[in-house]
Amino acid sequence: MDTSKHLLFELGSEELPPKTLKKLSQALADGFRKQLETLQIDFQEIEYFATPRRLAVKVIALNTQQRNQLVEVLGPAVSASYDDNGNPTRAAEGFASKFDIRVDQLQRTGQGKNERLVYKAEVTGKDTDFFLPSIVECAVSNLPIAKRMRWGNYTNEFVRPVHWAVLLYGDSVIDMEILGLRTGATTQGHRFHAPQKITLTKPEDYADALYQQGHVIVDFEQRKTIIRDAAQKAAAAVNGIAHIEDDLLEEIAALNEWPVPITGTFDPRFLELPPEVLITTMQTNQKYFPVKNADGGLLANFITFSNIESTNPKSIQQGNERVVTPRLSDAEFFWNQDRKKTLEDRVESLSSVVFQENLGTVFAKTKRVQNLAKFIAGHLNANVELAERAALLAKTDLMTEMVGEFGNLQGIMGRYYALADNEPEEVALAIEEQYFPKQSGSPTAGSTTGQVLAIAEKIDTLVGIFAVGLIPTGDKDPYALRRAALGILRTIIENKLNINIIELTEFAGAQIKTVADQSGTSDRVIDFIFDRLKGYCLDQGYTADEFDAVITVTPAEPLDFMQRLQAVKAFRQLPEAESLAAANKRIRNILKKSESQPAASVGALLEPQEKQLLQAALQSADDIQPLLAQRNYQATLNRLAGLRNDVDAFFDHVMVMTDDLDLRANRLALLNLLSEQFLTCADISKLQS
């Protein structure tokens, strides 16, 4: 006998916000999943559906009954449940009567004074139908809606006015009220192609019924695939390739229930504009897919999607072409106007823009970044003049008409305008690369000047915001300081730059004259940066104990940190690693707990094992010096691994904490010598077996 049925819930509404449609639909499915798991009602899987006018969830093979529940209720202590003659007391009888059983049918739990009577029973689970209204109510009410609205005379609130609700369990309607609507089995099709009501007979027919009768593709991911394929097919018809970004693809899928591609053209003269300008205009303002040729250059075409199959698609095409022309004309106007002034002419105007009220204007930030760029370039033997020039012009494109209209083009337009001003190509590129990496996994700055500027810009923001006390908490990070810290680390590490992050932080702090008390700022910034470094290292496959082994010796350079970390990871693969890690832990504990101090240098020793270890330690100290000078930490740890047998023999035959205080001090000095050698790389005692 089949003990499961499919469940369908659909909520129909006015057009939902396209940028949050997928998030809402997934949250609705998650709400159902959470409630069913909490109530212990079994199901096979949950599917979500979403179109501009509906959110829906289908639960596959939902059990018709909740799992049986094991009920366990603690009663009185056994000592209080029976009198001296072993007869049940009123406390025991009262407890048993609650469950309509005899006292001798109760069980016991615990031992001694803690032994108590307990009632245990398996209670048959309730029918799933009983829970469905509360599950639906909870899932809908917990949707992540930023701004709810009311409509008409209703007191209900939702993201948009609702018009119908479907709740089918098998072939039966579950009757309930949700947002002022009674649930039923009737849905609605496409607003224009199939405005009639559609009666559903069972949940499994949902998608097919709306497709066949309603002219609606309810599966969000299926619509995305259809749109992507149709866009590429339309682009291929004009010998091009559709430029499709995921965010826009999702937005177009959220705007259409029945997507139909339309190919349009625009005046080829606009191709003289920077391609990023055309792409941004078409994507942001018009929701069009640009079209590129095989070499990546733009064609004078675009792909848009209509939500209807028009009998006159040409008119839709012409309408879109008429709309896009003034948009592109505006961009052309901005481009021409902006180039009437050089970026250098705009530097002074940065004084009119506040960066942060306690840190001054963008002009003040520019001067700080310029000094930082000079400092960093000097340490890297990079071109200081180019670094200073790039820093001076870095924020000037913020004062242009184009960036004022399209904020996402900051840096990009700076590069174009710098080239138009005949600035050195590396300066122009650095203006764009100051914002790299733009997101997780995206590339860091490729040019040396770009790397210098990217680090300088981010460290100034990081130290400045920390100095005024706006430290990120929880998920609040309005200045994107976590991303800035990770960007600094990735730029340094992935481009193999030898930069002392402590010196850099202190230099940045010394430039901030508007904040009188900066005590502890540098330490807090360093801790914040290394917290981000830990996450970065874990993502790279290193373990927490490997990270802890390196952080203990506080390397000041992120690149040096990573070289040590690589060496530790390689070291722990050696057969000697576990024994030496344990020995180091023992050495550190002995030195930490010892009340007597090690001798200044190792003096007279008695046992042959300790004499042998001393000779081996002195030899390894000489051997690792040139390796450390080359930062060859892996070879250093490999050399130190050769001490294993001598260390094991020492601990097998020598008592460190002897009553002879002079001998004890010498043995402690020997252990200190060993500990210091390992700490030249990392604290391997932190490694877990």
User: Facing residues of 187 across strands?
Assistant: 198
Mean pLDDT of the chain: 94
> How far is it, in rounded angstroms, from Cα 166 to Cα 77?
52
pLDDT tens for residues 372-382? 999 999 999 99
Q: What value does the mean pLDDT take over residues 136-140?
A: 97
Task: Let me know if domain 4-66+127-214 sits in CATH 3.20.20.150.
Answer: no
pLDDT at residue 518 above 80?
no
- Give every CB contact of residue 107 below 8 A, 6+ residues apart in sequence: 117, 118, 119, 120
* 667 closest CA partner among 593, 595, 614, 608: 614
- What's the average model confidence in pLDDT over 241-257? 97
- Give pTM, 2 decimals: 0.84
The C-alpha torsion from 139 through 142 and 144 to 148, rounded to 10°, is 110
Break the chain into its structural domains and give their ranges: 4-66+127-214, 69-123, 220-330, 345-541, 576-686
How high is the pLDDT of residue 516?
66
Q: What is the torsion angle, in degrees rounded to the nearest 10, for the CA atoms of residue 501, residue 503, residue 508 and residue 514?
A: 130
**6-25 b/e with 16+ CB inside 10 Å = b?**
bbbbbbbbeebebebbbebb
Q: Give the separation between CA 490 and CA 437, rounded to whole angstroms.
A: 8
Lowest mean pLDDT among 244-258, 542-556, 675-689: 675-689
For 316-345, b where at least 16 C-beta lie within 10 A, e where not — what string? bbeebbeebeebbeebbebbeebeeebbee
Please, what is the angle between helix 501-510 and helix 521-539, to 10°?
Answer: 140
Q: 568 by DSSP, 3-state: which?
A: helix
Q: Where are the alpha helices (DSSP H) in 268-399?
A: 275-280, 286, 313-338, 362-380, 384-393
**Rounded to an integer, what distance in angstroms lies between the CA atom of residue 247 and that of residue 241?**
18
Domains 4-66+127-214 and 576-686 share a fold: no
Q: Can you tell me the mean pLDDT for 152-170? A: 93
Residues in Cβ contact with 562 at an 8 Å cutoff, skipping those fewer than 6 apart:
493, 537
Q: For residue range 552-598, what is the model confidence (pLDDT) as tens digits?
A: 999 999 999 999 999 999 999 999 999 889 888 988 888 888 877 77
In order, the DSSP letters of 633-677 are: HHHHHHHHHTTHHHHHHHHHH--SS-S-HHHHHHHHHHHHHHHHH
Count of helix runs (H) and strand runs (E) in the chain: 25, 18
Return the pLDDT at 509.
93
Confidence band for 184, pLDDT divided at 50, 70 and 90: very high
Write the class of the CATH domain 576-686: mainly alpha
Q: Give the pLDDT mean for 481-493.
A: 96
Look up the CATH number of domain 345-541: 1.10.3210
Q: How far apart are CA 203 and CA 172, in angstroms?
A: 10
Task: Identify whether the C-beta of residue 479 lies closer than 8 Å to the C-beta of residue 365.
Answer: no
Cβ atoms 43, 62 nearer than 8 A: yes
- pLDDT value for 70: 85
pLDDT tens for residues 16-40?
999 999 999 999 999 999 999 999 9
pLDDT of residue 597: 72
Is 72's pLDDT higher than 70?
yes
Question: If we measure between CA atoms, which residue out of 326, 325, 306, 324 comes closest to residue 316?
Answer: 306
What confidence score (pLDDT) does residue 219 get? 97
Query: Quick check: 437 pLDDT over 70?
Result: yes
Q: Are 226 and 291 in contact (CB under 8 A)?
A: no
Q: Could you tell me the CA-to-CA distances from 140 to 130, 198, 254, 476, 586 in Å, in that order?
A: 18, 23, 19, 26, 58
Phi, psi of 266 (to 5 degrees): -140, 170
Residue 2 pLDDT level (bands cut at 50, 70, 90): low
pLDDT digits (tens, 9 = 90+) for 418-430: 999 999 999 999 9
